[in-house]
Amino acid sequence: MFELVVLDSALRMATPLILASLGGLFSERSGVVNIALEGILLTGAFASILATYYTGDPWVGVAAGIFAGILVSLIHAAVTVIFKADQIVSGVAINLLAAGATQFLTWITWGSSSNSPPVVGMAPWSLPEAWGPVARGINVVIGHYPPLVYVALVAVAAAHVVLWHTPFGLRLRATGEHPGAVDAIGVSVRKMRFAGILLSGALAGLGGAFLALNTHQFVKNMSAGRGYIALAAMIFGKWNPVGAALACLLFGYAEAVQMGLQGQQVPSQFVQMIPYVLTMVALVGVIGRTRPPAALGKPY
Amino acid sequence: MPEKNAVEMRGVTKRYPRVLACDGVDLSIRQGEIHAIIGENGAGKSTLMKILYGMVRPDEGSITLNGKSLTGHSASDSIRLGLGMVHQHFMLIDPFTVAENVVLGIEPVRAGLFIDGRTARERVERLSSEYGLALAPDERIENLSVGLEQRAEIVKVLYRGADILILDEPTGVLTPQEVTELFVVLRALRESGRTIIFITHKLNEVIELADRVTVMRDGRVTGVVSAAETTPAELARMMVGRDVLLRVERREATPGEAVLVVNKLSAVGRKGTHVLDHVSLKIRSGEILGIAGVHGNGQTELVDAITGLHATSSGNVTLSGTDITNLRPRTIRDLGVAHVPEDRLERGLVPEFTVAENLLLGHHHRAGYSKRGLIDVAKMEEHARELIVEHDLRPADSSISASHLSGGNQQKLIVAREFDGAPALLIASQPTRGVDIGAIEFVHTNILKMRDAGAAVLLVSAELSEIMTLSDRIAVMYGGRIVQEFEGGTVSEEELGRYMTGAAGAEAAVEAEGTAEATGAAGGTA
C-alpha cells in the first residue's frame, strides 16, 4: 500500500483537490458557500482542453481553465451577493448547468457525446540531467511531476500567508465572520465577497485544467464528485489552507489506493466512501471543535 | 475663544412610508461636551444619529460636522471628518484579537504587503493606557466580558481618529461597576477635548454624566436643557408628554403558601459545564422574588429548567406540592405557570402571525378555543378583542401581524397573553428590555397587580433598578449559583453589583459547595 507508485499517484490525485479546496476556502472565508466547485472544476477542465486543442499549447489551456473558472464563479457571485439568493441552490444549479453545457459543447465541437480527442499534456518539470548526479537524485525523489503539482503546493503556502498576514486576508475573514462590522468601518462587503468567490473560481478552474491536461483529454463528467470532496477536505481541514491540503493528500491517497484495489476483494465503493465518512466524523467534532465562519451561508 | 459647535443639524426631516421619523429637528452639540439624547423608542433618536453618521439620507435639512457642511455624505465621509460610533450591538469579530478588530480596515502595513502586528499592538496599548482602558491587545474578543468588549469598541473608534463619539445605549448591558468605570472613561475623553453624544433612556445616568440634554418625542425635539438644572421627572415629562410614574406604587407583600420550591437544582449546559449548580429557592403566593445577575450566570437556564425547556441533571422543582421537574413545557403551563421569555422575538411570539393568533398561543388547545383539533376562529377573535381593550394594545387591530407592532406593544401583547387566566406562578424574564417608559410602567403595574392577586412571581432582570423597585426578596446569581439572598429594600445597587461580579460572596459559595458535598456523602452512606 505504501509503494512509491501509490504515493506518486496520490500526489497527482490530490493536486486538483488541493487547488479546488483552496478555492472553496477563499469563498467560504468571505461567507459564501461554494458548492459550485464541482461545476467550476468541470468547466475549467473543458475550457483547458478546448484551448489546448486549438492552440496546441497546454499553457494557453491553463489560462483558459482559470478564465472559465472565473466566469462561472462570476455567476455564483452575482446570484448570491447581488441578488442575495440561496448559496446552495445557486451552486447546485451551476453544477447541473456545467454538466449539461460541457457535454453539449463536447458534442458540437468534436461530434462525440463522451470525450474529446487527445491533446498535448504538460511536460513534467525536472532538472537537466547535465547538472550531474545531484540533479538526477532530486529528479528521482521529487521530480517528474507536471508543473501544476508544484503550483498547487506553493498555492497552499501562499493562501496561508494571504489569509493570515495581509490586510486583504484579515478583511476577507472578517467579512465571513461579521459582515455588519466590516460594513460599519467602511469596507465594502460586496467587494470582499466578490473577491473571495472569483479567487475561488480561478483556483478551481486551475484545478480543472490540471485534471484534464493530466489525462490529455476531456471526458464528460470527469470531475466525478471531486468538487464535493474538495469541499469536504476544506471542512475536514477546519477552513485552513494547510489542514485542507493535508486532507486532500489523504483523500488523494484513498483514491490512489482504490485504483490499486480494483479487481481485488474489497469493493472499491467502500474506499470511495472514505472522504465522506471522514468528513462526517470531522463535522460531529471527533477531531476537535470545528468552527465555520460565523456568517457562512448568510446573504448580506 | 468663542464656543464652537462640533455638530450642527438644522431642520432635519426624514419621512418613511408610514411615519415621520424626524420632523424638522435642530440639534447643536458643543465641542468638548457630553451631550445626552433621550427619548422613547421610535422618538427618532436612532434615525437622527444614522442621518448624522451618513447611514440614512435625510429628506430635508442641513448638517455641519466640525465646521464642514455635509450633503449626501456616507459613513466613510463622516469617519474621515472625525465622527465615530459605538453601536448598541457591538461590531466586533469574536475570533479575532482586540488588536485585529481595532486595526481592521486601516491596517498598519510592513513591506507594503503584510500586516504589521507589532505596530497594531503598540497603537492599541497606547490608546488603552491613555484613557485607563486596561485592554490586552492579544486577547480574543470571545474571551472578553461585555464591559471590555465595549472598551475595544471605544479604542476602535479612537484609532480611527474620532473626536466626536456617538454611544448608542452604552449602559444597557453593563453591571453597575462597569457603568461607573465607563463614566470615568467618558469623562477622561471629554478632558482630552473630545465631544461625546450619549443616547440613552436612563434618566439618572443623564443627570449624572451629561452636560446638556436634548429630549425627543415623536420625531421632534421637545426640549434642550442643562443636566444640572433638570430632574428625572421633568425629563420624563418631556419624553412622554405626560406625568409618568417613575416608580410604581407598591403595597407591602402579604405572602401566603409556598408556590414554587426549587431544591438543589443542577443542570449541564451545551459545553458540558454546570450552568446550574445546586440552586435552591422558594417563592410564596403574593410575593415577588427578583433574580439579579450579569447575563450568562445561569438565570436563563434556571427559567428554562423551571418551565421545562432545559433538562435538569439533579434536584427537583415543585409547584404547589406537585413535582414538575423535567415535565413537558405544555404540561407545566397547564399546571398554572406563565412565562414572559427574555427574548420576545425568539420565544415570546411568532412575528409573522397576527395579533389574535399570538394572543391565543399556548392557550389554543384549551377548552373553549378549539374543538376536535380545530381552532374556533370566532372565539379567538373575541378573546383578542377583549385583551386588546383591556391592555390598550396599539394599534387596536387584531388582524395585523405582530412584527408590525412596536417593541413596547409586542411586550404588552405577551404580558396580556401570559397574565391571562390567573396563573399560580408568573415568570418574567427581562420583561422591560428595550421598551419605552410608557410600556415599563404598564408592565410593572401589571406584575404588581398579579402579585396582589396572589400569584408567585419570579422576576429575572439585568436592570437593577427594576429588581430593586419590584422585588420583595432579591437573590443574586453568579456562576450558576445563588450566592446571596436579601430582603427587598435592605441592599444597595453597589452591594448587589459586588455579588453579581463575584467580588463578594465567594465564601458563601464555598460554603454552599461544602454543604452539597456533605449531603452527597451522607446520601452515599445511607
Using alpha carbons only, give the angle A19, A22, A27 rounded to the nearest 5 degrees. 130
Residue A288 touches chain B, beta carbons under 8 Å: no
Give residue B519's pLDDT: 41
* Residue at B227 is within a domain: yes
> Can you name the residues that pair with B14 across neighbouring β-strands?
B22
B92 to A181: CB separation less than 8 angstroms, yes or no = yes
User: Residues B291-319: pLDDT tens digits?
Assistant: 998 888 899 999 999 999 999 999 999 99
**Does residue B514 carry a pLDDT above 50?**
no
* Residue at B51 is within a domain: yes
Closest residue, chain A, to B110 (C-alpha): A166
Q: Is the CB of residue B298 less than 8 Å from the CB of residue B477?
A: yes
The number of C-beta contacts closer than 8 angstroms across A and B is 57
* Residue at B27 is within a domain: yes
Residue among A170, A174, A291 minimizing CB distance to B115: A170
Residue position matching grid coordinates 410608557: B438
Cell digits for B449? 397587580
Cell digits for B450? 398579579
- Asked whether residue B101 falls in the same domain as residue B224, the answer is yes
Cell digits for A225? 464528485
Chain A closest-CA separation from residue B136 CA (Å):
19
Residue B469's CATH number:
3.40.50.300
Span A8-37, mean pLDDT? 94
Cβ-proximal residues to A2 (8 Å cutoff; 6+ apart), any chain: none
Among A243, A260, A209, A192, which Cα is nearest to A58's? Answer: A209
What's the N-to-C CA distance of chain B in angstroms? 83
Closest residue, chain A, to B84 (C-alpha): A185
**Does residue B183 carry a pLDDT above 60?**
yes
Cβ-proximal residues to A241 (8 Å cutoff; 6+ apart), any chain: A22, A25, A156, A157, A159, A160, A163
Q: A97 or A261: which carries more pLDDT confidence?
A: A97
Residue among B76, B91, B113 minimizing CB distance to A166: B113
User: Residues A39-51: pLDDT tens digits?
Assistant: 999 999 999 999 9
CA A120 from chain center: how many Å? 22
**What one-letter code names the amino acid at B51?**
I
- Confidence band (pLDDT; 50, 70, 90) for B119? very high
- Asked whether residue B439 falls in the same domain as residue B451, the answer is yes
Q: Which range marks the domain in which residue B404 is found?
A: 344-422
Give residue B132's pLDDT: 85
Closest residue, chain B, to A192 (C-alpha): B105
User: Residues B138-174: pLDDT tens digits?
Assistant: 999 988 888 899 999 999 999 999 999 999 888 877 8
Q: What share of chain B is helix, strand, coil (3-state, %, to 5)?
A: 35, 25, 35
* Residue at B525 is within a domain: no
Residues in chain A within 8 Å Cβ distance of B82: none
Closest residue, chain B, to A185 (C-alpha): B105
A278/A290 Cα distance (integer angstroms): 13
Cβ-proximal residues to B50 (8 Å cutoff; 6+ apart), any chain: B56
* Residue at B523 is within a domain: no
> Can you name the residues that pair with B509 across neighbouring β-strands?
none
Span A70-95, mean pLDDT? 96
- Confidence band (pLDDT; 50, 70, 90) for B77? confident
3-state secondary structure of B223: strand
User: Residues B96-116: pLDDT tens digits?
Assistant: 999 999 999 999 999 888 999
Closest residue, chain A, to B53 (C-alpha): A184
Q: Is the CB of residue B221 less than 8 Å from the CB of residue B25?
A: yes
Residue A160 touches chain B, beta carbons under 8 Å: no
Span A92-99, mean pLDDT? 97
A263-277, B183-197, B391-405 — which one is most confidently predicted on average?
B183-197
User: Residues B39-64: pLDDT tens digits?
Assistant: 887 788 888 998 999 888 999 999 99
A236/A280 Cα distance (integer angstroms): 9
Candidates B104, B116, B140, B153, partner chain A, best to mutate (most A CBs within 10 A): B104
Closest residue, chain B, to A291 (C-alpha): B95
Q: B220, B240, B260 — which closes off a domain?
A: B240
Q: Are strands B195-200 and B34-39 parallel, antiparallel or unpaired?
A: parallel
Span A153-163, mean pLDDT? 96
**Does residue A287 carry a pLDDT above 60?**
no
3-state secondary structure of B289: strand
- Asked whether residue B260 falls in the same domain as residue B353, the answer is no
Residue among B92, B100, B114 minimizing CB distance to A166: B114
Name the domain count of chain B.
Answer: 3
Residue A185 touches chain B, beta carbons under 8 Å: yes
For chain B, give the mean pLDDT.
87
Residue B415 backbone phi and psi in degrees, to 5: -60, -45
Q: Are strands B481-487 and B473-478 parallel, antiparallel or unpaired?
A: antiparallel
Give residue A3's pLDDT: 67
Q: B422, B457, B488 — which closes off a domain?
A: B422
The secondary structure element, H or E, covering residue A98 is helix A87-110
**Does residue B520 carry a pLDDT above 80?**
no
User: Residues A211-241: pLDDT tens digits?
Assistant: 999 999 999 999 989 999 999 899 889 899 9
Give residue B512's pLDDT: 46
- Asked whether residue B203 falls in the same domain as residue B291, the answer is no
Residues in chain B within 8 Å Cβ distance of A161: 114
B105 to A171: CB separation less than 8 angstroms, yes or no = yes
- A91-100, B316-325, B490-499: range with lowest mean pLDDT: B490-499
Q: Is the CB of residue A253 less than 8 Å from the CB of residue A271?
A: no
B91 to A185: CB separation less than 8 angstroms, yes or no = yes
Candidates B93, B100, B155, partner chain A, best to mutate (most A CBs within 10 A): B93
- Asked whether residue B41 falls in the same domain as residue B142, the answer is yes
- Asked whether residue B416 falls in the same domain as residue B447, the answer is no
* Residue at B519 is within a domain: no
For chain A, give the mean pLDDT.
90
Residues in chain A within 8 Å Cβ distance of B109: 167
- Asked whether residue B70 falls in the same domain as residue B84, the answer is yes
User: Residues B60-76: pLDDT tens digits?
Assistant: 999 999 888 888 888 88
Q: A31 or B243: which carries more pLDDT confidence?
A: A31
**Does residue B508 carry a pLDDT above 80?**
no
Residues in chain B within 8 Å Cβ distance of A185: 79, 91, 104-105, 156, 160
Among A150, A176, A166, A157, which Cα is nearest to A15's? Answer: A150
Cell digits for A43? 468547466
B409/B359 Cα distance (integer angstroms): 12
- A1-15, A77-91, B33-47: range with lowest mean pLDDT: A1-15
Residue among B74, B94, B104 minimizing CB distance to A294: B94
Residues in chain B within 8 Å Cβ distance of A171: 104-105
Q: B339 or B465: which carries more pLDDT confidence?
A: B339
User: Residues B418-435: pLDDT tens digits?
Assistant: 998 889 999 999 998 877
Chain B closest-CA separation from residue A173 CA (Å):
9
**Does residue A71 carry a pLDDT above 70?**
yes
Q: Is the CB of residue B99 less than 8 Å from the CB of residue B93?
A: no
User: Residues B354-364: pLDDT tens digits?
Assistant: 999 999 998 88
B115 to A182: CB separation less than 8 angstroms, yes or no = no
A187 to B113: CB separation less than 8 angstroms, yes or no = no
* Residue at B265 is within a domain: yes
A202/A98 Cα distance (integer angstroms): 16
pTM for this entry: 0.80
Cell digits for B204? 439618572
Closest residue, chain A, to B85 (C-alpha): A184
| Sheet arrangement for strand B456-460 | B337-340, B425-429, B456-460, B287-292, B473-478, B481-487
Cβ-proximal residues to A70 (8 Å cutoff; 6+ apart), any chain: A198, A201, A202, A205
3-state secondary structure of A149: helix
Residue A294 touches chain B, beta carbons under 8 Å: yes
- Asked whether residue B325 falls in the same domain as residue B209, the answer is no
Residue among B91, B95, B114 minimizing CB distance to A184: B91
Closest residue, chain B, to A174 (C-alpha): B93
- A43-52, A129-138, B230-239: range with lowest mean pLDDT: A129-138
- Asked whether residue B258 falls in the same domain as residue B328, the answer is yes
Q: Other CB atoms closer than 10 Å to residue A57's CB: what's the count?
A: 13
Q: Is the CB of residue A195 less than 8 Å from the CB of residue A188?
A: no
Q: B422, B452, B468 — which closes off a domain?
A: B422
* Residue at B520 is within a domain: no
- Confidence band (pLDDT; 50, 70, 90) for B521? very low
B104/B127 Cα distance (integer angstroms): 16
Cell digits for B459? 422576576
Cell digits for A46? 473543458
**Does residue A117 carry a pLDDT above 90?**
yes
- Confidence band (pLDDT; 50, 70, 90) for B507? low
- Asked whether residue B283 falls in the same domain as residue B388, the answer is no
- Residues of chain B above pLDDT 90, percent: 55
- Asked whether residue B392 falls in the same domain as residue B476, the answer is no
- Asked whether residue B59 falls in the same domain as residue B158, the answer is yes
**Does residue B285 carry a pLDDT above 60?**
yes
Give residue B476's pLDDT: 94
**Does residue B276 carry a pLDDT above 90?**
yes
B93 to A178: CB separation less than 8 angstroms, yes or no = yes
Residue A191 touches chain B, beta carbons under 8 Å: no
Residue among A165, A182, A291 minimizing CB distance to B114: A165
